[in-house]
Amino acid sequence: MEFVDQMIDIKSIRSQFPILDQKVRGHQLIYLDNAATTQKPTAVIKALEEYYGGFNSNVHRGAHHLAGMATDAFEQTRKSLQQFINAAEVEEIIFTSGTTAGINLVAKCFGEFISSGDQIMVSTMEHHSNIVPWQLLCEQKGAMLKVIPINDKGEVNIDQYKELLNEKTKIVAIAHASNALGTINPIKEMTKLAHEVGAVTVIDGAQGAAHLEIDVQDIGCDFYAISAHKMYGPTGAGALYGKRKWLEAMPPFMGGGEMIDQVSFNQTTFNDIPYKFEAGTPNIADFIAFEHAIRFIEKMGKPTIKEHEDQLLQHAHHRLSQLPDLQIIGLAKHKVSVVSFVVKGWHAFDIGMLLDAKGIAVRTGHHCAQPLMDHLDIEGTVRASFAIYNTIEEIDLLADQLQKIINR
């Protein structure tokens, strides 16, 4: 199986990521852990330096020049995110520390509308961040957590999802794409079905943001959470999209500066959205740098990124499926660039250590998806995940090393 990618200049792309030009344990680094965090282009790293070295200041309400520069750059990221996911209004973009924080915000604040006997639904493949907040909410409110089954390929069973939906369903929380299997879920269809019974949908977009086209108005979802560090941006920054009607109805998440309108010892009134949900000094530098990650993705183009990553994924499936005693876990028809696998007679961690000895970085374990691993009756997997800067040659080297490990 031969692939020729004429759409991208891979050398030019890789030259923008300084961390890739190094050796690990005497071998050229092969970074295949992008589902955990992507590497950062020079533009993102430089933006952090420029903020701290040139206009470091707190945002909003400052009367001086540096505060104005910081505020303008900070709010530009919000505008870019609105366009990036096609939100109807810039005020529907709430800055958070990442996907986990966004989901917890919804669970805490929209959770005020949940009553005893209500139903919250998640799928079998969810990350712990899209399970535990809902479990806590169910315990607090006396609600019920229902689990949407998946089939043997790792795809949501839509027929069983329809059967589980009823007038008691208030929230459906689903990943756009699975971090452990790569499965892309039919979130538009699932949102439509949820709305038919009066439920809202909360989309975990951590794995979707860098790989897939996102149009929250077309999807129709009520909330969509993302993390910058999964999309070539800094850690500790992310965003939550929420429909205006819900954000205005929900109580604040935290109390403090920025989220207030007027404060007295008798009564406090709250700021307008999005600031109602952004108490305290934000992670200014990383949000400013986030803008440059968005620009990088937009310059590359989501279709180009996806075509390249699909090519890598197909080649990885082809090469790894030929190895004896290796089983790929997750064979959904529609996937992002994640391939998880187990090898008979080997613990995933041991394989990860042996690959690391050759400079190949992969992720091992349950990938914060223990219920999924229990469902699959496995302890965990080895996960290789690809980004725009990865190459066919790197996948071949991964397969060659796995062959040597198996031959032991």
How confident is the model over 22-66, as pLDDT tens digits? 999 999 999 999 999 999 999 999 999 999 999 999 999 888 999
What is the band of 121 on the pLDDT scale with cuts at 50, 70, 90?
very high
pLDDT for 6 equals 52
Q: What is the mean pLDDT of the chain?
A: 95
Q: What is the DSSP letter of 183?
A: B
- Give, in words, the CATH class of 10-38+302-407: alpha beta
Residue 261 has pLDDT above 90, yes or no: no
Query: CB under 8 Å to 221, separation ≥6 — which residues?
Result: 187, 191, 201, 202, 203, 241
226 φ, ψ to 5°? -135, 165
Q: What is the DSSP letter of 54?
A: I
Distance separating alpha carbons of residues 108 and 111, to the nearest angstrom:
5
pTM of the model as a whole: 0.96
| pLDDT one-digit tens code per residue, 55-85 | 999 999 888 999 999 999 999 999 999 999 9
Q: What is the per-residue burial (b if ≥16 Cβ within 10 Å, else e) of 209-231?
A: bbbbebebeebbbbbbbbbbbbb
CATH 3.90.1150.10 domain residues, the chain: 10-38+302-407
pLDDT for 1 equals 40
- Let me know if 344 is exposed, middle or buried by CB neighbors in 10 A (0-12, 13-18, 19+): exposed
CA angle 192, 193, 198 (to 5 degrees): 90
Which one of 109, 138, 221, 368 is the catalytic residue? 368
Domain 46-299 adopts which CATH fold? Aspartate Aminotransferase; domain 2 (3.40.640)
**109 assigned to active site:** no
Residue 4 has pLDDT above 60, yes or no: no
CATH 3.40.640.10 domain residues, the chain: 46-299
Q: What is the pairing mode between strands 200-204 and 93-96?
A: unpaired
